[in-house]
Amino acid sequence: MQGSAAARLLIASQAPGARAHRSGIPFQDPSGLRLRDWLGLDEARFYDPARVAIVPMGHCFPGHDAAGGDLPPRPECAPAWREPVLAALPAIELVLVIGLYAQAWHLGRRPGTLTDTVRDFRAILAAERRPRILPLPHPSWRNSGWLKRHPWFEAELLPVLRAEVAALVG
């Protein structure tokens, strides 16, 4: 987790992977490389807590499932601490909700799939709410197939994402 009262961009992610859990540095892995590329940020700006807050739905690595993927964040984590942490980030203007668990928390339960939610990014971003919200899939290599099957993500969403991030982070 990182952030400060000055941060204007919040990355609401799932939970740290095993490598990030060990290092204590969020997105210090291949998914972080992909995410920084999506955002158009170098490491210095990405890891500047006065610019970017990173607050996962869970603070500890939840373990692996039978297929070797990460388990979901523990269900008791976010209700126990998320509201006070977010209250300490008053300047947040945009929340990037990465993955189903972050999307469910920040957007409420929505009918449909992650694909439906991410595809609806324009309406979600334009909704009358503060801070604004932009849904993203997880940048994990496990989602490479999803990215190939949905070329609109790179063609349509990434330019919007990069423009939003540049306006807030510089």
**Domain limits, the chain:** 9-169
> What is this structure's pTM?
0.88
CATH class of the 9-169 domain in this structure: alpha beta
Buried residues in 1-28 as b, exposed as e (16+ CB within 10 A): ebbeeebbbbbbbbbbbeebeeeeebbb
- Helical packing angle, 158-169 and 30-39, nearest 10°: 80
Q: What are phi and psi of 64, to 5 degrees?
A: -105, 150
Nearest CA-CA partner of 93 in 63, 120, 128, 132: 132
pLDDT of the chain, 170 residues: tens digit per residue: 799 999 999 999 876 665 665 666 788 888 999 999 999 999 999 999 999 999 988 766 666 678 777 666 667 776 777 888 999 999 999 999 998 888 988 998 776 899 999 999 999 999 989 999 999 999 988 899 999 999 999 999 999 999 999 999 98
Nearest CA-CA partner of 29 in 51, 58, 61, 7: 61
